[in-house]
Amino acid sequence: MIRRYRLIAGLLAVLLAALATGLSAQETNGHVKDMATTVRLREAPSLTSTIIAELAGGTPLTLVGRTANGQWYQATAAGQTGWLAWGYVVALVPVETIPVIGGGQPTTPASSTPTQPTTTTSAAPSSGGAVVRPGVSLRLRTDASLSAGIIRELPGNTSLEIIAQSADGAWLNVNTPAGETGWVSAQYVIRRGGSAPVTTTSGGSDTPTTSASVGPAVNVRGVRAIYERGQALGNQRGVFTRVGDSMSVSEYSLDAIGRGTYNLGAYGGLQRVIDAFRTPSFNSFTHVSVSAGGGWTTMIALEPRFRDPSVCKTEVSPLECEYDRVKPSVALIQLGTNDLLYVTADQFAANLNRIVDISIDRGVIPVLTTIPYRDGYRDGVDAFNAAIRQTAANRDVPLWDLNAALNGLPNSGVSGDGIHLSWPPGGYLDSANFASPEALQSGYGTRNLTALQVLERVLNAMGG
């Protein structure tokens, strides 16, 4: 009998050891992507769900489930279980081995004034009938321009009557069920057949681009003067670089374009921009800048102590080091999302002006970029973007109004962590798929398209 109990005890010990080994393996089946900021663990797979915790980069995860659409993981971290946006998770096991336990339906972005669900009318659509794409809050504007006044927000599934379209097809003049007339971005509208007459819009006097405005018209004379100064200093015409934070250095940002993984769709005219900045001697789209990094602020870009000493041998700022070593003609500058945590709008503006001064002095055309909304900092974002727009206007340098371009997207183009841009459904491979309406509903899809559009304007101002 004693021997029998010992045998059972031995078997139990082996079983417990196996279970312990299994649990240990399960505890290490994933981790938060290494980054300077945190990601939000939520109660449910939704951008509007309650936040349980903020998880730092590298936090170990036990991945226990995923949504059917692959956009969210259910995970346990530090004894708490919740949901994480997939783009911030590194799975250490094949994704298909993680069970599907959530539907992951798209969530309607929150707005400042909640709207009631809209149902389409039962009447047959006219020849110019259309409907706002589901899951979108689309702005009805007074004119065919991102800078035009906003009449109101149209929820997804709102029926529209198309009465005209802009010459480039990027904007639609519509009537709403409430009897309002205005302009909406065509890419967020599903047409039901028929065609609309083309009308001339007052979209600005800038050199024509392939789609709607991404900011005010470029001051051709000012850009040309900076460019010619740079050419005299030995800058490379077909080179742009980046000055920015994690959104600038993300693999979702322009990298796919540089590697030929893109589909221009209706924006075929942008191929010449890609060709101009992706040369045999320098691929701007895949270049790793020493003046950009996760968690970066304007001060980091300006402080010599933050330079990479393996690349920047002399004691200069990361910004100056990058300009000296690469000799770019253009710099895409997107900073401010992290400055919100540390400085006032006035201090931010002062730093931004220093960056502009250094750029112009080096003959580098600075393209100032507005920042996306960040959860909990809406007023600060508005103040910082006002400073960015004012600096661009005061110094006659190009403005890339990314914030305005993101406004019509779900959650204003921001992912589940409330900080970074959202990813397209197909991930990296769709990050520059401009033929996909779904990809263009993502923050990075829109960022990549509008980056090419603003580069087109700058290229035209440089002399084509």
3-state secondary structure 404-422: HHHCCCHHHHECCCCCCEC
- CATH code: domain of residue 135: 2.30.30.40
User: Who has greater pLDDT, 7 or 304?
Assistant: 304
The Cα–Cα gap between 450 and 402 comes to 7
| 237 lies in the same domain as 135 | no
Judged on CB neighbours under 10 Å (0-12, 13-18, 19+), 330 is: buried
**Residue 287: CATH number of its domain:** 3.40.50.1110
Q: 20 lies in a domain?
A: no
Residue 6 lies in a domain: no
Contact 184, 162 (CB under 8 A): no
Whether residues 170 and 291 fall in one domain:
no
Answer yes or no: do 280 and 352 share one domain. Answer: yes
Tokens of 365: 């055309």
Question: Tens of pLDDT along 210-258?
Answer: 334 477 778 888 899 999 999 999 999 999 999 999 999 999 999 999 9
Instruction: Place 87 in a pLDDT band, splitting at 50, 70 and 90.
Output: low
Residue written as token pair 């018209």: 217
Neighbours of 431 (CB within 10 A): 25
Report yes or no on 15 lying in a domain.
no
Kindly state whether residue 51 falls inside one of the protein's structural domains.
yes
313-328 pLDDT tens trace: 889 999 999 999 999 9
Q: Is pLDDT at 124 greater than 60 in this prediction?
A: no
Are 231 and 317 contained in the same domain? yes
Judge if 332 and 445 occupy the same domain.
yes
Provide the 3-class DSSP secondary structure of residue 365.
strand
Token readout for 269 is 């005219």
Is the overall model pTM greater than 0.75, yes or no? Answer: no
What are the tens digits of pLDDT across the range 12-69?
444 444 444 444 445 668 888 765 557 788 888 876 678 888 888 788 999 999 887 6
In a domain, 123, yes or no: no
Rounded Cα–Cα distance for residues 160 and 395 (Å): 41
Burial of 69 (C-beta count, 10 Å sphere; 0-12/13-18/19+): middle
The reply to whether 124 falls in a domain is no
Work out whether strand 330-334 and strand 240-244 pair parallel, antiparallel, or are unpaired: parallel
Nearest Cα to Cα of residue 109 among 418, 456, 427, 431:
418
Q: Which of 258, 370, 219, 81 is nearest to 72 (CA)?
A: 81
Residues 247, 295 within the same domain: yes
Question: What Cα–Cα distance (Å) separates residue 208 from each residue in 211, 261, 268, 269, 275?
Answer: 8, 26, 14, 11, 18
Q: Provide the domain limits for residue 63.
A: 27-101
* pLDDT tens readout for residues 335-356: 999 999 999 999 999 999 999 9
Name the range with the highest mean pLDDT among 231-235, 372-376, 417-421: 231-235
Asked if 32 and 179 sit in the same domain, the reply is no
Q: Are residues 439 and 403 in the same domain?
A: yes
Percent of the chain residues past pLDDT 70, beyond the cut: 78
Would 214 be classed as within a structural domain? Answer: no
Same domain, 305 and 180: no
Q: Is residue 13 part of a domain?
A: no
First to last CA, the chain: 93
pLDDT digits (tens, 9 = 90+) for 172-215: 888 888 777 888 888 778 876 544 444 433 333 333 333 344 77
Q: How many domains does the chain have?
A: 3
Count CA atoms within 13 Å of residue 425 on its CB side: 14
DSSP strand pairing (189-191 vs 129-132): antiparallel
Are residues 254 and 403 both part of a single domain? yes
Q: Which residue among 199, 231, 248 closes a domain?
A: 199
Residues 296 and 191 in one domain: no
